[in-house]
């Protein structure tokens, strides 16, 4: 396994006094593609939110390289390389596409917007449209592109395919695959579309009741439908 870029040590967190994830330990190497899967309500979204400092951490460490960032604010974690695309997308509905993208530049020159337009040509076509005028797929493209303009070294994706048409899902997964192939970015993907997640990942973590119930190579799950059904409750085709 590559040298750990992100190391989660005995992490427990939730909201207020309620624990949602408990004693999670995972190492993620630089350039790795990690899929986090599991039934609904098992703590997948809470795990990503905790990595970004958006929950109540009860115990444990979150190390980026040698630095434990668990005590840092969300903005400070982003400055150190964490990029987060939440399930809610969180674009600015009253701003144009280009204004939304500018918010993600983090001091980089305006010319860097071309990276977003090259990645998602549809955003170039919609650059003067307001966020509220975009389709769900276009909003997701905008959220992803805005995050990537900040040049994160670790990209956290929380169910990016939810509610989207298959053709848009295909387009997004192609973008994620290209990013991963560059080996310049580590991707942690939470996704309910199990087959797509397994095709993308080179390692898989299954959460059950807020704990890691299984960790291993995706090929094992692809070949064993009964194991997938037992762990996740859905089969793969």
Q: Is the pLDDT of residue 1 over 70?
A: no
Q: What is the DSSP string of 183-226?
A: TSSEEEEE-S-HHHHHHH-SEEEEEETTEEEEEE-HHHHHH-HH
- Domain locations along the chain: 1-81+155-160+186-237
Q: What are phi and psi of 67, to 5 degrees?
A: -95, 125
The encoded tokens of residue 211 equal 């704990």
First vs last Cα of the chain: how many Å apart? Answer: 29
Contact 158, 142 (CB under 8 A): no
Q: Is the pLDDT of residue 54 over 50?
A: yes
The encoded tokens of residue 225 equal 């439908």
Q: Shortest CA distance to 101 belongs to which of 122, 82, 80? A: 122
The encoded tokens of residue 158 equal 């929380």
Q: 190-206 burial by CB neighbour count: b if 16+ within 10 A, else e?
A: bbbbbebbbebbbbbbb
Residue that is written with structure tokens 């579309």 in the block: 193
Is pTM beyond 0.75 here? yes
Q: What is the pLDDT at residue 4?
A: 58
How does pLDDT run across 14-47, given as a tens digit for each residue? 999 999 999 999 999 999 999 999 999 999 999 9
How does pLDDT run across 214-231, given as a tens digit for each residue? 999 999 999 998 999 999
**Distance separating alpha carbons of residues 153 and 30, to the nearest angstrom:** 8
Q: Is the pLDDT of residue 174 over 60?
A: yes
Tell me 73's DSSP state: -
Enumerate residues 6+ apart whose C-beta is below 8 A from 109.
none
How does pLDDT run across 115-172, given as a tens digit for each residue? 999 999 999 999 999 999 999 999 999 999 999 999 999 999 999 999 999 999 999 9
Could you tell me the fold of the domain covering 1-81+155-160+186-237? Rossmann fold (3.40.50)
**Distance separating alpha carbons of residues 43 and 37, to the nearest angstrom:** 10
Bridge-based pairing of strands 67-68 and 82-85 is unpaired
> SS3 for 84?
strand
């Amino acid at each position: 396994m590559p040298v750990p870029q992100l190391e989660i040590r005995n992490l427990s967190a939730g909201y207020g006094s309620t624990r949602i994830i408990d004693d999670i330990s995972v190492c993620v190497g630089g350039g790795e593609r990690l899929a986090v899967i599991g039934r609904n309500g098992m703590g997948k979204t809470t795990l990503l939110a905790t990595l970004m400092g958006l929950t109540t951490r009860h115990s444990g460490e979150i190390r980026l390289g040698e630095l434990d960032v668990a005590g840092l604010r969300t903005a400070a974690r982003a400055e150190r390389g964490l990029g987060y695309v939440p399930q809610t997308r969180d674009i600015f509905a009253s701003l144009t596409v280009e204004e939304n993208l500018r918010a993600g530049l983090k001091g980089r020159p305006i010319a860097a917007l071309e990276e977003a337009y090259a990645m998602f040509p549809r955003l170039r076509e919609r650059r003067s449209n307001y966020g509220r005028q975009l389709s769900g797929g276009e909003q997701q493209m905008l959220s992803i592109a805005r995050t990537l303009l900040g040049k994160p070294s670790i990209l956290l994706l929380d169910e990016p395919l939810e509610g989207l048409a298959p053709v848009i899902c295909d387009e997004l997964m192609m973008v994620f695959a290209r990013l991963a192939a560059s080996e310049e970015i580590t991707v942690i993907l939470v996704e309910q579309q199990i087959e797509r997640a397994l095709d993308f990942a080179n390692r898989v973590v299954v959460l059950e009741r807020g704990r890691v119930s299984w960790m291993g190579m995706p090929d094992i799950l692809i070949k064993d439908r009964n194991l997938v059904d037992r762990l996740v409750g859905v089969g793969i085709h």
